[in-house]
Every structure is written in structure tokens, then in C-alpha cells.
């Protein structure tokens, strides 16, 4: 399987599988087994910082559930019973920290999402894994019944959602996430997800043309977070992070990482709202 994995390489083809790939996740803190439901590189959003090459607009294809089951079984067996950790992972990261439904597009656009969750839960039980089952999502399909069924099953089996909120200003959302969406709709998505399954807000911040986010945009974001806290939306906190790997999108030339000091100050502003912040630089 090649060289050792690290936090800078999230190659979905690292294991030679269609749906399953291992990564060392800086935010999760160890080895994460990824489930890629978008091998067609299709997403309904177009985030400027996305690392997926040849990203296209669209939804997940039909999933071969038996192939997914076979691939995930093979990967978990290699990690739990084989030599995967010693051969592929640096010593300080040899911990299976989660199974993450993520990949090359929005995973909840998959029409079999609830059945995918059933397969994952079944194999987690087979391998006696007591680790989080995470979904990394933009929340845009949470109104769908099959997605809510999947979220409820996740919630019953150590599940949690990392839902994307990079900005709440409509213009900033269009620039960063490439989608027409306002703060009110974004709030509905976050609240719906959080009330079904334990959830974190996931926020990626960056400089655009060497300028940090405008203060007005930051104030709107902080007010958005404060309102969620004030209205007792059950969030676990905010996962705040910056750019770690190069974007593969045409907007890449506009993007630069923010200074660590700026990010720490931003974390403090979020914490002042009463939510826990996990900062990854």
C-alpha cells in the first residue's frame, strides 16, 4: 500500500478501493477510515478550498452496498487484525479514531444513505468497535427522510455530524462555498441536524487575496453561533481549522492560510459565545 500515511495526504485511492480509504486525520487525532460515497467527484457545493480534482456539480451515484461491505470489512480486518498500522502509519498516530462518511462530494446526496449507515454499523458491531461514526456534511439534504433515518441510526451508535458553516453572509457563502444560500436556511440545516444527531459545526477560515475575512462577516458569524447557543441548539462545539492542503479548484490562487495568532483570536471569540472550540492549525 505504499508509503506511510500522514495528515497532508488524503488520497482517496490510497487503498486501491472504490469507497473506502484510510487517512491520518489531524482533527480526529489518528487513523480515520473514510467512506467515499462520491467516487464520481460530484457535489452540489463548490468550495474554493476543496482538494478534490475535477470536481463537478452533481450527486452521489448509486452505491454497490455489497462492494462497500466487502471493502470496509477488508480495511477493518487489516487495521484490527493485520499489520496495517505498523506498516502504513507513524507510531504516534497508530490509533483507530473513527469511521468517517466523507469523500469527494456531499455524502448525503446518496439515495442509499440510510442503508450505507446500516452496513457500517453492522461491521462496527462485528469488529466490536466502540469508536465514533462521523458524517462530514454540508447539511443540504437533511430534509430528506432517508437522510434523517440514517442520522437517527448514527445517533444510536456513537454517531456525530460535522456540519459545514464557513460563513453566514450570503455573499461570502457564494464566494467560499459556491452556492446560493442565506443565513436563515443555513441555521435551519444546522438545527435540524443537531436535534437528530450529536453535532459539531465545522468551520474552515482562510485569507482571500491575502486579506482575512472582513470584520463584518466575522461579526455575523459570531452572532450566528451566539443565537444557536442562546436557543439551546444542542451543539458539541466548533471545529475551527485553516488550510492544510492545496485546493484543486480554480479559486486556489486566491487562497492563503491565516496567521496562527489570528486563528487563536477567532477561537477566543467563538468560545466567548459559550461553545467549546477545537482549533486545528
Q: What digits encode the pLDDT tens for the residues 133-158?
A: 999 999 999 999 999 999 999 999 99
Residue 190 φ then ψ, to 5°: -60, -45
* 82 Rama sector, left if φ>0, alpha if ψ -120 to 50, beta otherwise: beta
Determine the average pLDDT of the residues in 66-76: 98
How far apart, in whole angstroms, are the C-alpha atoms of residue 71 and residue 99?
13
- Give the pLDDT confidence score for residue 225 in this predicted structure: 98
- Residue 5 per-residue DSSP state: B
Counting residues of the chain whose pLDDT is more than 70, the rounded percentage is: 93
Using the predicted structure, report yes or no on whether residue 27 has a pLDDT greater than 70. no
Largest CA distance in the chain: 52
Structural contact between residues 243 and 207, judged by C-beta atoms closer than 8 angstroms = no
| Contact present, 106 and 20 (Cβ < 8 Å) | no
Q: What is the pLDDT of residue 94?
A: 87
pLDDT exceeds 50 at position 214: yes
Please state, in angstroms and rounded to a whole number, the distance separating the CA atoms of residues 122 and 1.
26
Cα 109–Cα 113–Cα 115 angle in degrees, nearest 5: 160
- 3-state DSSP assignment of residue 23: strand
Say whether pLDDT at 10 is over 70. Answer: no
Estimate the crossing angle of helix 183-196 against helix 145-155, to 10 degrees.
Answer: 50
Predicted local confidence at residue 34, as pLDDT: 95
Instruction: Look at residue 244 in the predicted model and tell me its pLDDT.
Output: 82
| Mean pLDDT, the chain, integer | 93
* pTM of the shown model: 0.91
What's the pLDDT band for 90 if we cut at 50, 70, 90? confident
Residue 206: predicted pLDDT:
97
Residue written as grid cell 453535532: 199
Q: Is 266 exposed, middle or buried (0-12, 13-18, 19+ CB in 10 A)?
A: buried
The structural domains of the chain, ordered by start, are 20-279 (3.20.20.70)
On the question of pLDDT at 73 being above 60, the answer is yes
Least confident of 11-20, 130-139, 148-157, 212-221: 11-20
Q: What is the pLDDT of residue 1?
A: 45
Amino acid at each position: 500500500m505504499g508509503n506511510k500515511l500522514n495528515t497532508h495526504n488524503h488520497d482517496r485511492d490510497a487503498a486501491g478501493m472504490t469507497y473506502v480509504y484510510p487517512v491520518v486525520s489531524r482533527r480526529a487525532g489518528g487513523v480515520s477510515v473514510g467512506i467515499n460515497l462520491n467516487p464520481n467527484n460530484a457535489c452540489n457545493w463548490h468550495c474554493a478550498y476543496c482538494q478534490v480534482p475535477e470536481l463537478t456539480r452533481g450527486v452521489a451515484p448509486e452505491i454497490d452496498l455489497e462492494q462497500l461491505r466487502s471493502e470496509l470489512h477488508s480495511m477493518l480486518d487489516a487495521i484490527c487484525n493485520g499489520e496495517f498500522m505498523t506498516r502504513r502509519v507513524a507510531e504516534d498516530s497508530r490509533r483507530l479514531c473513527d469511521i468517517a462518511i466523507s469523500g469527494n462530494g456531499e455524502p448525503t446526496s446518496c439515495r442509499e444513505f440510510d442503508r450505507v449507515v446500516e452496513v457500517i454499523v453492522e461491521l462496527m458491531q462485528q469488529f466490536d468497535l466502540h469508536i465514533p461514526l462521523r458524517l462530514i456534511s454540508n447539511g443540504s439534504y437533511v430534509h430528506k427522510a432517508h437522510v434523517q433515518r440514517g442520522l437517527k441510526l448514527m445517533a444510536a451508535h456513537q454517531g456525530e455530524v460535522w456540519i459545514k458553516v464557513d460563513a453566514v453572509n450570503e455573499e461570502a457563502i457564494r464566494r467560499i462555498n459556491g452556492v446560493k444560500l442565506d443565513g436563515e436556511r443555513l441555521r435551519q440545516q444546522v438545527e435540524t441536524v443537531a436535534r437528530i444527531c450529536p453535532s459539531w459545526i465545522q468551520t474552515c477560515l482562510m485569507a482571500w487575496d491575502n486579506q482575512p475575512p472582513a470584520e463584518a462577516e466575522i461579526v455575523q458569524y459570531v452572532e450566528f453561533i451566539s443565537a444557536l447557543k442562546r436557543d439551546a441548539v444542542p451543539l458539541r462545539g466548533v471545529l475551527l481549522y485553516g488550510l492544510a492542503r492545496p485546493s484543486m479548484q480554480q479559486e486556489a490562487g486566491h487562497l492563503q492560510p491565516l496567521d496562527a495568532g489570528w486563528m487563536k483570536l477567532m477561537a477566543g471569540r467563538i468560545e466567548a459565545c459559550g461553545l467549546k472550540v477545537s482549533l486545528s492549525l
